Amino acid sequence: MSSEVTLEELAALMKKAAGVTVDPQDLEARLDTPFAEFGLDSLGLLGIVGELENRHARALPTDAEKCKSPRDFLDLVNSTLTAGA
């Protein structure tokens, strides 16, 4: 498994954790769009963080669940995961 979370993985996690369906290409085109505009709330983001922590067997920064956009989230999560790779 790759250490970095991809747009495809984030889209799948949004569906699994929050029931929010979004195309990975739409995420890529709208990286700085707030998660709320995709229909993802803080509880959904918390579910994504929990799923990633389980998958990668490590804690993510507590502010990961406060990220406002896909870019912010992926930058924070991927920098954390690659730092420990």
Q: Which fold has domain 7-83?
A: 1.10.1200
- In angstroms, the CA 49 to CA 59 distance is 9
Q: What is the pLDDT of residues 26-59, one digit of tens each?
A: 999 999 999 999 999 999 999 999 999 999 999 9
pLDDT of residue 3: 80
What is the CA angle 62-6-52, rounded to 5? 35
Tell me the per-residue pLDDT of 57-80, one tens digit each, with 9 for 90 and over.
999 998 898 999 999 999 999 999
| Rounded Cα–Cα distance for residues 25 and 20 (Å) | 15
* pTM of the predicted structure, to 2 decimals: 0.91
How far CA 29 is from CA of 7, 16, 26, 45, 73, in Å, comes to: 11, 21, 5, 20, 15
